[in-house]
Amino acid sequence: MKSSPPEVRILANAAAAVPLLLDEVRTLLTSSKSPLLGFATGGTFTAFLQALGHELGAGRIPAAGNLLATHLDEYLGYAPDQKGGMVHELGSACPHLLAMLAKGTFFPVPHDDAPASLRAHEQRLQRAGGVQLQFLGIGRNGHLAFNEPGTPFDSGFHGTTLAETTREDARARFRPAEPPTRAVTSGIATILAAKRLVLCAFGKAKAPAVAAMLQGPVAPTCPASVVRTHGNVLVLLDREAASLLQSGLVGA
Ligand code: PGA
């Protein structure tokens, strides 16, 4: 285990994270010839993705043509063009990612959990040099991607059953249909293999999970706590999400 604890920044508001996340992308593009960036989905990243779309459209991301991209998870049965799915969400916020998908430089998470599909996806990420920078959200229950509480830390890409809080939080995007019950997710070991992790959490509803992640035990009961074993992690919080942290206790 590496010892360097996560760098935690408490921002005035969620909007303040957007320029920092854009800077992460710019830095990534200077660090490697064709770096692989792992996007996260969810409301936490929508403003950033829209801003990235604007910056790319305006040509303000140098060397953007070299970028390779992927993401964390997909609902089972949701093909890239299906509304409600993660690739559809990413492409709606940042259409550039759909152009990358068409070009073959965006690697969608398989929407089936056949072992051969999962293995092929992992191998594709490895052939691309592995994820250099992984963006992450956190669930109210402490999940990381769709690694729900109890998921072993040594997991790779796998099919999973969504927790009830996860389905509840996804309800609005599928209404009037019921939210899906199953998904394919990047595993915790896969996430930890990325060179750098940048995790964002905004809003009061995330405060208990953020406190458990940074100050509770490092254990599968709070999958996100595993980021404390990584060594190159930036955590961006707004004041509400940080409101249950005890000062000075963020440790590796
Ligand atoms: P959210 O989801 O950004 O919609 O809050 C994050 C997550 O569940 O990991």
Domain, as residue range, for 30:
23-60+67-200+228-235
Catalytic (active-site) positions:
73, 141, 143, 148
Asked whether residue 101 is domain-assigned, the answer is yes
C-alpha count within 13 angstroms, C-beta hemisphere, residue 71: 29
Q: Which atom of ligand 1 is nearest to the CA of 41?
A: 3
Say how many Å lie between the CA of residue 42 and the centre of ligand 1. 4
What gap in Å lies between CA 194 and CA 189, rounded to an integer? 9
pLDDT of residue 142: 98
Tokens describing residue 161: 């059953």
Residue 6 maps to a domain: no
For residue 14, being part of any structural domain is answered with: no
Q: Give yes or no for residue 138 CB within 6 A of ligand 1.
A: yes
Q: Is 67 in the pocket of ligand 1 (CB under 6 A)?
A: no
Structural tokens at position 35: 């770096």
Establish if 218 belongs to a structural domain: no
CATH of the domain at 137: 3.40.50.1360
Does 130 fall in a domain? yes
Indicate whether residue 186 lines ligand 1 (CB < 6 A): no
Q: What is the pTM of this model?
A: 0.96
Residue 140 belongs to some domain of the structure: yes
Q: Cβ distance 194 to 132 under 8 Å?
A: yes
Q: Quick one: pLDDT at residue 4? A: 87
Domain contains 173: yes
Q: How many domains does the chain have?
A: 1
Tell whether 216 is covered by a domain.
no
Which atom from ligand 1 is nearest to the alpha carbon of 200? Answer: 3
**Is the Cβ atom of 234 under 6 angstroms away from ligand 1?**
no
- pLDDT digits (tens), the chain, 252 positions: 446 899 999 999 999 999 999 999 999 999 989 999 999 999 999 999 999 999 999 999 999 999 999 999 999 999 999 999 999 999 999 999 999 999 999 999 999 999 999 999 999 999 999 999 999 999 999 999 999 999 999 999 999 999 999 999 999 999 999 999 999 999 999 999 999 999 999 999 999 999 999 999 999 999 999 999 999 999 999 999 999 999 865 544
Torsion, Cα 207 213 217 222, to 10 degrees, reads 90
- Long-range contacts (CB closer than 8 Å, 24 or more residues apart) made by 172-180: 173/84, 173/89, 174/84, 180/75, 180/76, 180/77, 180/78, 180/84
Residue whose tokens read 């073959």:
104
Atom of ligand 1 nearest to the CA of 139: 8
